[in-house]
Amino acid sequence: MELMSHIRIRDLSVRHGRTEILKGISLDIPDRKITAIIGPSGCGKTTLLKSMNRLVDSGDGIEVQGEIFVDGENIYDPKVEVTHLRRKMGLLSQKPQVLPMSIYDNIAYGPRIHGIRSRKKLHEIVEHYLRVAGLWDEVKDRLGSPASRLSVGQQQRLCLARGLAVEPEIILGDEPTSALDPQSSQHVERCLQELKSDYTVVVVTHILRQAKRIADYIVFLYLGELVEHGPAAEVFANPKNARTRSYMTGEIS
Amino acid sequence: MFPFSLLGQRGRRTEEGVFRGLMVFAVFLVVGSLLLIVLTIIWKGLPSLNLAMITRTPQGGYYLGKEGGILNAIVGSLYLAGGATLLALILSLPVVLYLNLYTRKYSPLANFVRFSFDVLWGVPSIVLGAFGFVVMVFLGLKTSLLAGIITVALLEFPIMSRAMDEVIRLVPRDLKDASYSLGATKLETALKVILRQSLPGIVTGVLIAFGRGIGDAASVLFTAGFTDRVPTKLSALFQPVATLPLAIFFQLGTPFPEVRQRAYASAAVLTILILIISLVSRALVKRYTKHTIR
């Protein structure tokens, strides 16, 4: 299994009507590392991320071609159970989206859906993942209060805990710190770095410095094309492609 | 150049003033008519509004000015509109959830369904009454509570569905995605997240429909009939039932001034009834919506 990475993308094209959002992308996402997808706005970063858990299909008029293998299984095979696939991946969105329920129920939502009924078990899960996300001490006395009353930074960590509670193998982040203040951002970044020993992390970011801080692997997209990808140190120190170089130096954005 | 820029600073201020004046006028017109209606009903009906009226049934010759009350119509209307609202809700919720979760935004089917709602909404209730009558005969029913419920449900259905559709459409895509990304199915997302998030709007939709249903006379004219008895047993479902709008209609149609006065009192009862139900359900909703994402 070591040779096969969790997520392998083969010749993936996504179009919306006549516009091609992604053009023939082939890529292996390394396991247990943080992969950062970077590139200028509108280059297809988020689409690439959301095609990994098939959230793109819920969009209108989106057509997907090509294959993405997760654990050796093509997720665009019609036989694939999409709920099962999504369970393997936790998602952090740009703006934290807490569910309209209490803090406790936000975390318990996933496990309950997947059949965990025992109160004791649920309680353990809630506490464990709130601790992992570094939120437990802040909320342990008000687990029953509405999640929407938390600060935005706390909400994002709650979303992280909620995603982890369904025991995924992969964490997807769609500019997960873009709505947060610097301190909360730092907190989330630190969480991701701790998590990479157990999970495969893929993060979309438009902040180059963030990519430099946390990424082990870089994927650079430009106008829907995969321009360059490789270990972060290499890509940052010595970009092979001219467009990557101009993006890094701020000539294109 | 735009014409307004030629007006200069002063012209723009006049313009602002004129339009603001028009808006204030419109507000007064709306609030004023509401007040006028309520005041007329109360002023004309208050002299005949008494306890007997809401606790007793007509005691022979009530519509000629004799003893009694309109309890039969109050209870009848509550049962009829309650039943119709429940039936309409059972029909609307699945339709609306289907439209919003299972069809694409611009799907021809969804567009057609929404268009049908709009057309159905515009059908005059007397036409629905006539249609209800045909359905009633087809089902082998006579004028009865059940036939009334079916007809009024038909009247309420498009109103309720359209109102709910509008609020459920406002649920952010990201919220649905958050639920999907945890491995939830569309049904789980609908029942556990979307309904919760849009509960206040759903209740508003139900209330609007209930208000229309309980107040409509034409749709029950041929289908519900009228009776002096209060429905008590389940078999009353197949018996004629009294309704407030028809009670008002009959009382207004008499030549006796005091009976006509009772019509206004009945109208006041109907209005107050709707008011109480709205206030109570809004208070209830408030307790269940503290988790709603704003």
Domain of A46 in residue numbering reads as 7-98+169-248
Mean pLDDT of B202-221: 92
For the cut 60, the answer to whether the pLDDT of residue B1 exceeds it is: no
Question: Using CB atoms, which residue from A87, A97, A101 is nearest to B183?
Answer: A87
Q: Are strands A225-231 and A34-38 parallel, antiparallel or unpaired?
A: unpaired
Helix extents (H) in chain B: 8-45, 51-55, 71-97, 108-122, 125-138, 145-169, 173-180, 186-188, 195-197, 199-215, 218-221, 244-252, 257-288
Q: How many CB pairs below 8 Å do chains A and B form together?
A: 83
CB distance A162–B192 less than 8 Å?
A: no
Q: Which residue of A has its CA nearest to B188?
A: A113
What confidence tens digit (pLDDT) does each residue in B61-108 have?
788 777 888 999 999 999 999 999 999 999 999 999 999 988 887 789
Q: Tell me which chain B residues have a C-beta less than 8 angstroms from the C-beta of A172.
A: 181
Mean pLDDT of A145-152: 92
Residue bearing the bigger pLDDT, B189 or B106: B189
In a 3-state reduction of DSSP, which class is residue B256? coil
Neighbours of B59 (CB within 10 A): 12
Answer yes or no: is A55 within a domain. yes
Name the residue ranges covered by the structural domains of chain B. Answer: 3-48, 52-288
Answer yes or no: is A115 within a domain. no
Q: Could you report the predicted ipTM of this complex, rounded to two decimals?
A: 0.89
Rounded to a whole number of angstroms, the distance from the CA of A201 to the nearest CA of chain B is: 15
What is the 3-state secondary structure of chain A? CCCCCCEEEEEEEEEECCEEEEEEEEEEECCCCEEEEECCCCCCHHHHHHHHCCHHHHCCCEEEEEEEEECCEECCCCCCCHHHHHHCEEEECCCCCCCCCEHHHHHHHHHHHCCCCCHHHHHHHHHHHHHHCCCHHHHCCCCCCEHHHCCHHHHHHHHHHHHHCCCCCEEEEECCCCCCCHHHHHHHHHHHHHHCCCCEEEEECCCHHHHHHHCCEEEEEECCEEEEEEEHHHHHHCCCCHHHHHHHCCCCC
Question: Using CB atoms, which residue from B185, B192, B293 is nearest to A98?
Answer: B293
Domain CATH number, residue A52:
3.40.50.300
Decide yes or no: CATH 1.10.3720.10 for domain B52-288: yes
| Confidence (pLDDT) at B47 | 83
CB distance A166–B183 less than 8 Å?
A: yes
Answer yes or no: is A78 within a domain. yes
| Confidence (pLDDT) at B4 | 53
CB distance A98–B180 less than 8 Å?
A: no
pLDDT band (50, 70, 90) for residue A72: confident
CB distance A87–B182 less than 8 Å?
A: yes
Count the residues in chain A. 253
Mark out chain B residues that contact chain A at CB-CB < 8 A: 104-106, 172-185, 188, 192-193, 196-197, 290-294
What confidence tens digit (pLDDT) does each residue in A211-226 have?
999 999 999 999 999 9
Answer yes or no: is A142 within a domain. no
B110 vs B102: CA distance, rounded Å: 10
CB distance A98–B174 less than 8 Å?
A: no
Mean pLDDT of B174-190: 93
Q: How many domains does chain A have?
A: 1
CB distance B177–A91 less than 8 Å?
A: yes
Contact between B115 and B255 (Cβ < 8 Å): no
Tokens for A25, please give them: 């992308």
Answer yes or no: is A207 within a domain. yes
